[in-house]
Structure 1
Amino acid sequence: MSPDAKVGFGHVRLSIVDLSPGNQPFIDTKDKTVTTTTTTTTTTNMVSPSKGSGNIIDIGTSTAHDTVESQEKQVLQQRLLKQQDGKRWLPTALIWEDESAHRLWWEANTLDEFYSIRDEVNLLKRWEQEIARQVLDHSVLIDLGYGPSGINRPMDVTKVVPLLNELERNGKHVHYYTLDISRKALENVLAKLPTSYKVVKYTELWGTFDNLRAWRGNIQKPKWFLTL
């Protein structure tokens, strides 16, 4: 069974899903709801998980030449050139990799009335010790919600670094993976992550959610999925 702990404050939700067997929900307060689900992974992986730290892996590969960029080009050709009904659609990945769109997203996130990021940071600070205690040694953390603000600003790094620091203090040998469709965003964020860790490793994953579903198959360690 896999506990999915959801902590809610207003409309903000912090979800951390532990896919390791036998674990129990780690938070027991009236402010949250806990549900359990069973997850079975049957997919295979075309790229082996990184054994080092501080690098970027292109997980958008099904062959040696089928990269994320070539996938976008293929989708673009299909939607613009092969449509017969007169309708044309641009793939959303083109927007995800656009710096202007990222900048607008950042500006929206820093508005006073946009409380989501502030509350997420507070939730992680409040529960970081308990989360770190529950994470098994030699686990894998996969961050699904890294977001575009990492391209110019360290906000998302600010959110997760306290948790990584706590795991380091606890001597937990964990590998932290972050996912993003934009390689430039990953490169910028990679430069902002701490380099002093001894037991915590981190790697950037360049690809889509669908790519991740296939890539995770070869990881035979307990998995925690973070949606922040």
Structure 2
Amino acid sequence: MILTIEDQNRVRTLTLNRPDALNAFNEALYDATAEALLAAAADPEVAVVLLTGTGRSFSAGTDLTEMQARITDPDFTPGKHGFPGLIDALARFPKPLICAVNGIGLGIGTTILGYADLAFMSTTARLKCPFTSLGVAPEAASSYLLPQLVGRQNAAWLLMSSEWVDADEALRMGLVWKVCEPEALLDEARRHAEVLASRPISSLMAVKATMVAPIRDEVAAASARENALFAELMGAQANAEALAEFTGRRGSA
């Protein structure tokens, strides 16, 4: 099971479960996570979704081996939802979404926090947006959501530097809401999730709908801009060299 699903006290916990790949998203995991969000949105017994990862990683982002295949393999078959479908499911998710960042978060493992209503992070976790190191554009409307969340300069550093940010820095920026010791992370996230889940779902959804309504069009526009630039840059020289270096390192490991 690349995604495990557990229900307790109206909280549905989704756990990314590709530990050997550091929970990197391949097409199958994008599809499974998008489907799980759509199902949770429609389930009247689910009030809150809590998203976390298994092992030492939250998510290492898009599986770069599969990104390389997308460029070089003419027979590559995209998933039913893929990355765009996951982002659409996140943008439309009508209930509280809580992220518990248990370990490293790369790419979508960081930018997904733009869609979180609450984010918790382990003291040992680290985050990075590696777009410039891969020679590509931002993703997941992060060019809009991160400045909204953490301010222009913090967002510029996150999106332009391809440098790691530790838990203390993520908390200072406002990228996450609370930092916890590793052994307390899930309990703390679940405790807050259950507080929310004890409230009427209709009221929770009304609060979220009114909070996201003013930014819905901006998120869609940012995604469209990013996707166009991503398509332009993916496979170009800087990106091709970065992916070749990555797959070469994996091959020699």
The reply to whether TM is greater than 0.5 is: no
Larger Rg: 1
Q: Which has the higher contact order (CA 8 A, sep 6+)?
A: 1
The structure richer in helix per residue is 2
TM-score bin (small chain): 0.3 to 0.5
